[in-house]
Structure 1
């Protein structure tokens, strides 16, 4: 018997060799459902380059600024998270908004 690390797999409820678990995880990653769907506050599907409008006033942490309801944000970019969008706004670097606070324009 080889000296191999065993890891508990919560899905199956069994102990398995670490090499088998990493192979299983990489196979699961390949079986992903495809592109991530990001939806705005009313359910519209968002994509890279869309324009969005804020549906409520938002205090921007670190900028000392408030973005008002109705502000238009141009050319958004989707992140790996289904609820976050990356965008640019004059005077604010690295602005990330939650999809629940925007509406597609």
Structure 2
């Protein structure tokens, strides 16, 4: 299974990514601002999603809104 970011770059476990668009997190009042760096992502069973930890919360993000650093 290949997991790709918004530019088509392959992602792997432990990669660092940045958010390319302001995202509201469902079920929380948190908003991820554009340019936020997320380290140590984890791949999921779905090639369109990655699991990560932001500000102490585990969240799942769509790869369409991420860019590999």
- Both structures adopt the same fold (TM-score exceeding 0.5): yes
Distance 1:38 1:44 in 2: 8
Offset of 1:57 from its aligned partner? 0.2
Q: Which runs of 4+ in 1 moved over 6 A?
A: none
Structure 2, unpaired ranges of 5+: none
Q: Secondary structure at the match of 1:38?
A: coil
- Give the gaps of 5 or more residues in structure 1: 1-35
Choose from 66, 73, 77 the match for 2:31: 66
**Separation (CA, whole Å) in 2 of partners of 1:81 and 1:65:** 24
Q: Aligned-pair distance for 1:67?
A: 0.4
Q: After TM superposition, list the pairs within 5 Å mapping 1:1-105 onto structure 2.
A: 36-91=1-56, 93-105=57-69
RMSD: 0.8
Aligned length: 69
More helix by share: 1
TM-score normalized with structure 1 length: 0.64
**Normalised by the size of structure 2, how large is the TM-score?**
0.96
- For 1:99 and 1:39, the matched residues in 2 are separated by 7
